[in-house]
Amino acid sequence: MDSIKLHYDVSGNDFTCAGEASGKIKRELKGLGFPNDIIRNVAIAVYEGEINMVIHAGGGVIDVEITPECISLDLIDEGPGIPDISLAMKEGFSTAPENVRQLGFGAGMGLPNIKKYTDEMVIDSEVGVGTTIHLKVFVK
């Protein structure tokens, strides 16, 4: 099969829409017959990425490329950027405001979860410019 390319917009500051892209990607992968654990890993990583775009970056876009061997994802935003990436990757580190915590987010588990559920994770971020997270999940 040729690679399949998908594109999703994540709107900023709208919690009611967060989870939409991950839900759609999940259904897409199900339809293509990928194994459940692979689908779950991708869905969790995308969900955390979406939530981060909403909380921290005012929205963004997600580009997906699917081949039988690998699911590649680019999570792209033009938000404030991440000043210290290794600090941001620490479990429990969060700059999320109180109103976000009351919704059950802001545990500082998002980026560590993304790392845990993907095979490759590269963060490109520049303060004042934006953040792009490149992810790969291999289908073993």
Ligand X SMILES: Nc1ncnc2c1ncn2[C@@H]1O[C@H](COP(=O)(O)OP(=O)(O)O)[C@@H](O)[C@H]1O
Residues that bind another protein (CB under 8 A): 15-16, 18-19, 22-23, 26, 36, 40, 43-44, 47-48, 51, 103-105, 107, 109-110, 113, 116-117
The pattern of x and - marking residues 61 through 90 that bind ligand X according to CB under 6 A reads ----------------x-xxxx-----x--
CA distance 71 to 138: 6
Going by C-beta distance under 8 Å and a sequence separation of 6 or more, which residues neighbour residue 140?
A: none
- CB proximity list for 33: less than 8 A, separation 6 or greater: none
Residues 12 and 18: their CA atoms lie apart, in Å, by 9
Q: How far is the CB of 117 from another protein (least distance, A)?
A: 7
Q: Give the residue with the Cβ less far from another protein, 95 or 113.
A: 113
Which residue in the set 12, 95, 115, 134 belongs to the binding site for ligand X (CB under 6 A)?
95
Q: What is the 3-state secondary structure (H, E, C) of 108-122?
A: CCHHHHHHHHCCEEE
Q: Which does 36 bind (CB under 5 to 8 A by kind): Mg ion, ligand X, another protein, none?
A: another protein
Q: Are residues 48 and 111 in contact, defined by beta-carbon separation less than 8 angstroms?
A: yes
The entry of Mg ion, ligand X, another protein, none near residue 95 (CB within 5 to 8 angstroms by kind) is ligand X
